[in-house]
Amino acid sequence: MTQVTEHGGGVWSLKVPIPDNPLGHTLVHLLDTDRGPVLIDTGWDDPESWDTLVGGLATLGIAIKDIHGVVITHHHPDHHGLSGQVRAASGAWIAMHPADTHVVRRTRTQVPGQWLDYITAKLTTAGAPAEHLAPLHAARESGRMRTVPGLNSALPDRDITPGELLDLAGRRLRAIWTPGHTPGHVCLHLEEEHPSGLAGNGRLFSGDHLLPEISPHIGLYEDPAEEAVTDPLGDYLDSLERIERLAVAEVLPAHQYPFTDSAARVQELLAHHEERLAGLRRLLAQPLTPWDLAVRMEWNRPWDQIPYGSKNIAVSEAEAHLRRLVKLGHAEAVEGSDPLTYVAVGA
Output 208 or 235, the one with its CB closest to Zn ion.
Answer: 208
Q: How far is the CB of 21 from Zn ion (least distance, A)?
A: 9
Determine the interface stretch with Zn ion among 51-59, 200-208, 265-273, 315-323 (rule: CB under 5 A): 200-208
Determine the interface stretch with Zn ion among 102-110, 159-167, 205-213, 287-295 (rule: CB under 5 A): 205-213
Does residue 100 belong to the site contacting Zn ion (CB under 5 A)? no
CA 158/CA 162 separation, integer angstroms = 13
Does residue 78 belong to the site contacting Zn ion (CB under 5 A)? yes
Q: How many residues sit in the footprint of Zn ion (CB under 5 A)?
A: 3
Judged by CB under 5 A, the chain residues 222 through 281 that form the site for Zn ion are none
Judged by CB under 5 A, the chain residues 118 through 177 that form the site for Zn ion are none
Cα angle 49, 55, 56 (rounded to 5 degrees) comes to 90
Could you say which of 41, 45, 208, 319 contacts Zn ion (CB under 5 A)? 208
Q: CA end-to-end span of the chain, whole Å?
A: 56
Output 100 or 208, the one with its CB closest to Zn ion.
Answer: 208
Output 78 or 100, the one with its CB closest to Zn ion.
Answer: 78
CB 16 within 8 A of CB 49: yes
Output 73 or 289, the one with its CB closest to Zn ion.
Answer: 73
Q: How far is the CB of 256 from Zn ion (least distance, A)?
A: 10
137 secondary structure, DSSP code: H
Q: How is 275-335 classified by DSSP, letter by letter?
A: HHHHHHHHHTTS-B-HHHHHHHS--SS-GGGS-HHHHHHHHHHHHHHHHHHHHTTSEEE-T
Q: How far is the CB of 204 from Zn ion (least distance, A)?
A: 16
Does residue 76 belong to the site contacting Zn ion (CB under 5 A)? yes
Please list the residues that pair with 30 across neighbouring strands.
12, 39
Output 208 or 292, the one with its CB closest to Zn ion.
Answer: 208
Q: How far is the CB of 276 from Zn ion (least distance, A)?
A: 19
Contacts 24+ apart (CB under 8 A), 274-281: 276/321, 277/321, 277/324, 277/325, 277/328, 277/330, 280/318, 280/321, 280/322, 280/325, 281/325, 281/330, 281/331, 281/344, 281/347
Residue nearest to Zn ion (CB): 76
Q: How far is the CB of 13 from Zn ion (least distance, A)?
A: 14
Residue numbers of the site for Zn ion (CB under 5 A)?
Answer: 76, 78, 208
